[in-house]
Structure 1
Amino acid sequence: MLKIAWTPEYAHPLPPKHRFPMEKYELIPEQLIYEGTITEANLFTPTLLTEEQIIRTHNAAYWEKLKHLELSKQEERRTGFPLSAGLVKRERIINQGTIDCAKYALEYGISMNVAGGTHHAFTDRGEGFCLLNDIAIASHYLLDNQLASQVLVVDLDVHQGNGTAEIFQEEDRVFTFSMHGGHNYPMQKEKSDLDIPLQDGCEDHIYLKLLKDNLPKLINQIKPDFIFFQSGVDILSTDKLGRLGVSIEGCKQRDKYVFEEAKRNNIPLVAVMGGGYSEKISHIIEAHANTFRLAQDLFF
C-alpha cells in the first residue's frame, strides 16, 4: 500500500502574506481522494520528531535557539517565515513524517510525504522556508539503525539542495545529487557530490536528457540501497521563482523516470514534495498530484 505522510498541521496558519503556497498541503490530499487515486487509508499522521533525532543532524545550539524562539531578526528573515512555536512544531512533524516514510518505503518500495524536502536547512541555521532538514535527518536515521548503508539524494527542486550538501560534505555514505537553476537561489551554492546547474529557460528535452544521462550512472557507480527524491515542481515554466521552462508533462516524465529507475534497481524510495510557486494553484496541485498518481500506478 502507498503510505503518505499528511496531517492538517502541514497547513499551519501563517499571516496572510506568508499563506501562499501553504494551501497546497490541504489541496493535494483532497484532490487525490476526490479523484480516487488514494483513500483515507493511504494517509498516516506523523508524531513529533524527538530532540535526539534533531541534534543528530543539527547543531545543538541552533536547536536550542529554535526551540525557545530565540533566533535573531536576521536569522528569522533568512528562514522566510515569522518564527512561532506552531511553526517549529510543524517542522518537527514534517521531519518525523519523512523518517516514517523511510520505514514504509523499506516495506512497500516507496512512500511519500505531502510536505518535506526542507533542503535549505543547514547544520546550524535555517534558510528558504526550511528550519530542519528532513532528508538529512531521515538519512541519519537509516544509517544509524543499519537500515541502509548507502543513500542517494536525488534533488530535482529548482533550487540547489545547499543545506543537504553542507550537512553531508564529509559523509561518504550519502551521495548528494542536485539538478537546479544555475542562476537561481541560492546565489552562493554549496558543493554537492554532483551538481548540474541548468540555464534559464531549460525545456523538457534538455532537462530530461540530462537526468537520463546521469541518474543511471550514479546508481551503477555508488550502488545506493535507499533513495530520497526531492520532487519540487518549481521547475515548471509557470513558476514565479523557477526561471526554467519545463512543462507539466515534462515534470511528470521526470518523476516517472526516477520512480522507474528506483523500481528497476529494487531501491526503496521516499519522495518529498519540495517547492512549487506557480501563479495558478491548479498548476501546482496538478504537478504534485502527478507524482502520487505515478507512484500508485507504478508500484501498486
Structure 2
Amino acid sequence: MGAEALLRQQEPWFVSLAILGALYVAAFACRLLHISGIALCLRGPKDLRRRYGAWAVVTGPTSGIGRSMSLELARCGLNLIIVGRDPAKLQNIAGTVSKTHGVLTKTVQFDFSLVSTPQGEEAMGRLRQAVDGLEVGVLVNNAGVATPHATYLHEADAEAWVRMIRVNLLAVTEVTAAVLPGMVERGRGAVVNIGSGAAEALPSYPLYSVYAATKRYVAQLSRSLYVEYRVKGIDVQCQAPLYVDTKMVTNMVTRGGLLSWLIFPTSDAYARAAARWIGHRRPVCMPNLGHRLQWCFSHFVPDRVLAAHRLHENLRQRAVFQQLRSSSGQSTVGRR
C-alpha cells in the first residue's frame, strides 16, 4: 500500500496535526539558520579598507573588546584613531598596533564621562580635528561602563547613573554625529555601535536596569540610523554581545565546563567574528555563533523563567561586589 493511500486512511485531525508539526519544525529550522548566521560564516571576509576607507575610529580601545577590535581592524589594513581617557594606555595600544601590523595611528584623549560638559566639548573638538581631512571609513563605538555593578536603583549615588548615561548613551550619539559628516560627503562608511545582549536577548536585566536601558537606546538608535543612512551608502549596525571574557565580566559569571569557550568567547575571538559582520545589513546582530545560539533558544523559554533566573544570578553578583567593595573601601570599576 502506497504512502498516499495510507495518508487517505488517517483521520483528518491527525493529518492536520502532522502538517502543523512539520510547519513548526521548518519554521524553527529557518529561524535557527537565520540567527546562527551559518550562511554568513561561509562567506569570505570583506575588504573593509577598500569598501569604506583607509581609517577607523575606535573608542575605548585600551582593553577587552576595544583593544581586540583595534588589533583586528589593523590586521585588516585600516589605520586607527583610538580614543580613550588614559594617555599611557592609548600610547601602549598605539605602539602595539603599529609594531604588529604596520599601520598609522592617532590618539585622542577623551574621558567620555565628561560628555556634555565644558571639558567634554574640548575633547570633542580634538576628535573632530583628528578626523578632519581623513578618509574615516569605520567607526566602532565601543566605550562603555557597567558600574555600579548589580545594585538596586536607590542604592547607588545618582552621579554614578549620570556617568553611565554619559558614557553609554551620550558619547555614542555625539561621536557618531562628529564622524558621520565625512562619511556622508564620501558616500560610504560603517558605524558599529557595541550594544549588549542584555537589552536584546532577555526580557529584563534586574539590578542592571540603567545599564540595560542605555544599551536598548544604542540598539534603537542603530536601527533608526540604519534606515536613515543606508541610502547614503553608510552601514549602521548595533552588535549586541552576551558575555565576553573581559574585565567587565570579572566576578560576574561562573566559568568552566566544556562549553565555556562557546558561551564566553575571548575578546580576540569575538573581534574576529565582529569584523566579519561589519557591512552585512542587519541593524542589530550578535556576531559570535555561541551568543546567537543562546539568543535563539531564549525565544523558547518563558519570559518569567528568564527573569527569575537573571534576578537570582544578579543577586549572587550583588553579594560578590558588596564583598569586594567592603574589602577595598571603594566601588569596583568595570569597563569593556
Same fold (TM over 0.5): no
TM normalised by structure 2 equals: 0.37
Structure of larger gyration radius = 2
TM normalised by structure 1 equals: 0.41
Task: Identify, as 1 or 2, the structure richer in helix.
Answer: 2
